[in-house]
Amino acid sequence: MAPTGRTVTDATDGDVADGAPASDDLDRPGVSEEPPEPDLDELLRVVFGMSPAELDVCLCVMEHGTLTTAELTERVGYDRSVVARHLNHLADLGVVEKRRQILDRGGDVYVYTPEPPETVRRRFRETFLRWAAAGVDRIDDLSREKVEGLAEAESATEWTVFREP
């Protein structure tokens, strides 16, 4: 049987394969089979570094189509520099297109147009998967550091098998 809190990679001992939690993990108090569904606002803030203001700007562009920084500033009620900074981040994420438009009276202005919903979903999904993979790697690193620390402790001689060469 796999130890509690570990995953198994082979189903020869009756546990779940493919890195799923061992069955005894699911029986522990506080461990559920279904994690809570993430709130979309929270997910966008955590994964993409969006503040509530940036999320407001993003949603405004998505709802109203092509807008200038000035038009967005009026609609969302944030300072122009805040809106401009958020629009640049959204353009970097690839969820809005930033382009220069020549004005009839002379000069130019940047306008921001939402990318198609399927493009936005794909880009968010790709970025999320990279973020999740990096998070899993970080968790694995922390776990390895903890085991290596135990192996190096004088009182944990039975852990020497986990020391890396």
Instruction: Tell me the pLDDT tens digit for each residue of 113-131.
Output: 999 989 888 988 898 999 9
Q: Where are the domains of the chain?
A: 1-36, 40-115, 116-165
pLDDT of 107 over the 60 cut: yes
| Highest-pLDDT range among 48-52, 73-77, 92-96, 153-157 | 73-77
CA-based nearest residue to 98, from 83, 86, 87, 85: 87
pLDDT at 76: 94
Q: Report the phi/psi class of residue 106: left, alpha or beta, with left for phi > 0 and alpha for psi in -120 to 50.
A: left
Whether the Cβ atoms of residue 100 and residue 110 lie closer than 8 Å to each other: yes
Pick the CATH number of 40-115 from 1.20.1290.10, 3.20.20.80, 2.60.40.3500, 1.10.10.10: 1.10.10.10
- Looking at per-residue confidence, does 144 or 80 come out higher? 80
pLDDT at 82: 94
Whether the Cβ atoms of residue 155 and residue 163 lie closer than 8 Å to each other: no
Type of residue at 96: V
- Looking at per-residue confidence, does 151 or 96 come out higher? 96
Whether the Cβ atoms of residue 163 and residue 150 lie closer than 8 Å to each other: no
